[in-house]
Amino acid sequence: MVKIAELIKKCGLSVYSGDNFDEEVKNVYIGDLLSDVMGNAKEGSVWLTVQSHINIIAVANITSTKVIILCNGLNYEKGTKEKAELNNVVLLKSNQNSFETVKKIIELGL
């Protein structure tokens, strides 16, 4: 397990929303098809995606995902931040693609 604060610092991620950085994450899931994420992401995951619309927060709630990392230097759509804050989901951003981002996460031991 890794604390969200460590994930942010050691992977060079930027914070878009959230402040519960003392919580721990247990694993990682990479996916852009929402139904696939709903069926396969595990509780306490970090989810890497290029999806930025408000529906990702509903998927995070269904799967008990704590953190969403938006990759490829993309920006979250309007409304996603507010929904994430209401649902205690941390939104982070990576300027790198999912593969490069997950390599850094794996180095942390997830």
25 pLDDT more than 90: yes
- Domains of the chain are 2-107 (3.40.1390.20)
**In whole numbers, what is the pLDDT of the chain averaged over residues?**
96
Percent of the chain's residues with pLDDT above 90:
97
> From CA 106, how far away is CA 110, in angstroms rounded?
5
Dihedral angle sign, alpha carbons of residues 36, 33, 59, 101: positive
Kindly report the pTM of this predicted structure. 0.96
User: How does DSSP assign 38-49, residue by residue?
Assistant: HHHPPTTEEEEE
> From CA 14, how far away is CA 8, in angstroms rounded?
7
pLDDT tens by residue, 32-74: 999 999 999 999 999 999 999 999 999 999 999 999 999 999 9
Average pLDDT over residues 5-16: 96
Could you tell me the pLDDT band of residue 110, with boundaries at 50, 70 and 90? confident
Residue 38 is predicted with a pLDDT of 96
Q: What is the 3-state secondary structure (H, E, C) of 58-87?
A: HHHHHHCCCEEEECCCCCCCCCHHHHHHHC
DSSP state of 25: E
pLDDT tens by residue, 61-72: 999 999 999 999
